[in-house]
Every structure is written in structure tokens, then in C-alpha cells.
Amino acid sequence: MKTKLKGISYSKYGYLFSIPFVVAFLIFTLYPTIYTATLGFTDCRGVLNDNYHFLEHPFENFKEILKNDSFRVSLKNTIGIWIANFIPQISIALLLTAWFTSHSNEIRGKGFFKVVFYMPNIITAATVAILFHSLFNYPVGPVNDILVSSGLRDSSYYFFTNKMASRLIVAFIQFWTWYGNTMIVLISGVLGISPDIYEAAEIDGANGVQTFFRITIPNLKTVLLYTLITSLVGGLNMFDIPFLFLSGGPDRATLTTSVFIYNLAFSGNYIYNRAAAASMIMWLLIAFFSAILFYIMRDKDQIKIDKEIKRAKKEAKRAAKGGVNQWQL
């Protein structure tokens, strides 16, 4: 990469072209992050309140939030709903991936199925939440109509008064919107595996199931971890669907941490300090998981090359300094 022409240095343009990004990042991301973190240590409540003080016990808000029953319930719900959505999501995505990439059993209409399975993902989550609210409505929603008409139940079932049913529906909506996305990511991961390995397996007489578990899955490890962590981070932020579906109810059954924070800070309560503390706890959780992903996804080859270059440079320097020494060795 030559960046010099007739002795002119172009490196300043590197800085120049990054300015918009850096400025927007400082204003809209870094400052709000620091500000949120700071508020977590104060007694700030209310929007126009500039007259707030740092607390005597700096971690009081954090302690209170961790002790808060609603926060605990919301954290449990968030993780529970995420698990209930992720297990079927990854299983079905893997199954479909195995079928759609199989060499021995070509499935027709793959393109069509991909388009249809991905479709729910692109629809506004707000719309999806209210659509499902209508579908599971009591006493006359379409789902109840099917249950009664088919004779599975004698009378309509009131889904929204049952805590577990409500949670499971939210988990199902999450699954329904995301499995197509996961499937496409996994398929592209499989297509990235060298075809030579599959050919070798075929020659060795491996059947489809063996190939899948012995070759596809081990080679897909990084992609699977990427899916796991991005889904987890997304899941920890779940807002639109639980907020609009039953606004956290019944009896906090679908209250997620995002909805909890929203209620605390923005729905007329303005308890900023506590909400900020809760946000920072979530921030730390997400940062922790992102760090894991960052570590896994790091470019190992590039790091190796960088190290080699550094070592070579050092050696060249040493050689230039004390070239004589080398001869003596």
C-alpha cells in the first residue's frame, strides 16, 4: 500500500475522513454512555433536574436495583424467554441447514423456502407483536377458533391470563422471527467450508448424518458461537415484542429488562438514577458477551503475521546495529 507520491504524505486524509465518524461517535455514543454511567451514582430524578448530587454510598443505586424484585423477575424472564426461543431456533436452523446443503439429497425449492422463512424477520416487530396479540385473542382469536373448531378444546382458552402461556408465546414470536435469519447465516457458514473435506468424506463412505456431525458441526464452531452471542445480545435487549404484546404482563410474566428500564425512566416515573444503574448492569453484561465474541472472532492469522513482521523488523534493526556481531556468532 503506497500512500506517498512525490514525497507528499497522505496520512492526514486518514484522519480527515474519520472525523465524521469520530464526532458522531463521541456525541451520540460515548457521551451518553458516560452520562448514563454517571447518573447511576447520583440521586437524579426528573427530566429538567440539573441539581443532583453524587450519593454518599456510590453503589447504592446498583445495590437497590440488584435487590429490586421487579428487576430480578425481569432478568429471569429475559433469560428464560431467550433460552426458550434459542434452543428451538438453533435446532431447526441446523436441521434446515443440513437439508439445504446436503449433496446426496438435493431439496428443490430451496430459494423459495429461504425467502419465506426469512420473511418474518423483516416485518416491523411492533406489527408482529400486535398481530400475534390479535391471533391469540380471547375469546374469538384465530388460534382459539382453530382450537375449538378442530375439537382440541371445548371452549376458548384465555392465553393472556396464564403467565407461562404468555411467556411461551413471546418466546415463540422471537423464534418465529429469527430462525430464518439464523438458518441463512449457518448455510453461508457451511458453504464456506472447503468442498474437498466433503469429497474426502464421501470417498471414505461417510453417510449424511456422519458427515453432518463429524464435519459440518466442528467446522461451523465459530459461526455457531457468533450466532449464539449475537442472539444473546439481541435477546438481552428484547423490547418491542414484550412491550407491545402484553406490556410486560400478566403479573410481570413477560417483563424484560428493557421494558423494566423503560417503565422506570420514561413512562412518567423519571427515576433516572435507578434506571441508569439498571442500564449499566445490562451494559456490563452485553460488553462481557461482546468481549467473548471479539476474542473468538479476532483474526488469528493476521495476529500471527503482525508478530512475524515485528520480529523481522526487530531482527533487521539488530542486524543493522551490530552487523559485526552476527559474523562473530
Residues 98-117 that bind another protein (CB under 8 A): 99, 104-105, 107, 109, 113-117
Question: Distance (Å, rounded) from C-alpha 123 to C-alpha 114?
Answer: 15
Q: Which is nearer to another protein, 30 or 319 (CB)?
A: 30
Residue from 72, 76, 127, 222 binding another protein (CB under 8 A): 127
> What single string gives the DSSP state of each residue in 49-60?
-----B-SSTTH
Binding of another protein by 295 (CB under 8 A): no
Binding of another protein by 233 (CB under 8 A): yes
- Piece of the chain touching another protein by CB under 8 A; list 80-88, 157-165, 285-293, 310-318: 285-293
Q: Which is nearer to another protein, 211 or 231 (CB)?
A: 231
Query: What is the total count of residues that contact another protein (CB under 8 A)?
Result: 107
Q: Which is nearer to another protein, 198 or 272 (CB)?
A: 272
Q: Strand 4-5 relative to strand 8-9: parallel, antiparallel, unpaired? A: antiparallel
Residue from 63, 153, 294, 316 binding another protein (CB under 8 A): 294
> At its nearest, how many Å lie between another protein and the CB of residue 16?
8
Q: Which is nearer to another protein, 73 or 89 (CB)?
A: 89
| Residues 70 and 275: beta-carbon distance below 8 Å | no
- Helices assigned H by DSSP within the chain: 11-25, 31-39, 60-67, 69-100, 110-122, 125-135, 142-149, 163-191, 195-203, 208-211, 217-219, 221-236, 240-245, 257-266, 272-297, 300-321, 323-328
Question: Distance (Å, rounded) from C-alpha 207 to C-alpha 173?
Answer: 35
Q: What is the DSSP letter of 250?
A: S
Binding of another protein by 201 (CB under 8 A): no
Residue from 76, 200, 266, 322 binding another protein (CB under 8 A): 266
Q: Which is nearer to another protein, 140 or 203 (CB)?
A: 140
> At its nearest, how many Å lie between another protein and the CB of residue 152?
13
Please say whether the dihedral angle defined by the alpha carbons of residues 71, 73, 79 and 84, taken in this order, is positive or negative.
negative
Binding of another protein by 280 (CB under 8 A): yes
The enclosing H or E element of 9 equals strand 8-9
Residues numbered 9 to 38 that lie near another protein (CB under 8 A) are 10-18, 20-25, 27-29, 31-38
Please say whether the dihedral angle defined by the alpha carbons of residues 268, 274, 279 and 285, taken in this order, is positive or negative.
negative
> At its nearest, how many Å lie between another protein and the CB of residue 298?
9
Residues numbered 134 to 193 that lie near another protein (CB under 8 A) are 134-135, 137, 140-142, 144-146, 149, 176, 178, 180-181, 184-185, 187-188
Phi, psi for residue 247 in degrees, rounded to 5: 40, 50
Stated length of the chain: 329
Burial 230-254 (b: 16+ CB within 10 A, else e): bbbeebbebebbbbbbbebebebbb
Residue from 70, 219, 230, 269 binding another protein (CB under 8 A): 230
- Piece of the chain touching another protein by CB under 8 A; list 63-71, 132-140, 162-170, 307-315: 132-140
Residues numbered 35 to 74 that lie near another protein (CB under 8 A) are 35-39, 47-48
Q: Which is nearer to another protein, 132 or 157 (CB)?
A: 132
3-state secondary structure 95-126: HHHHHHCCCCCCCCCHHHHHHHHHHHHHCCHH
Binding of another protein by 1 (CB under 8 A): yes
> At its nearest, how many Å lie between another protein and the CB of residue 190?
11
| Residues 169 and 159: beta-carbon distance below 8 Å | yes
Binding of another protein by 225 (CB under 8 A): no
| Residues 211 and 220: beta-carbon distance below 8 Å | no
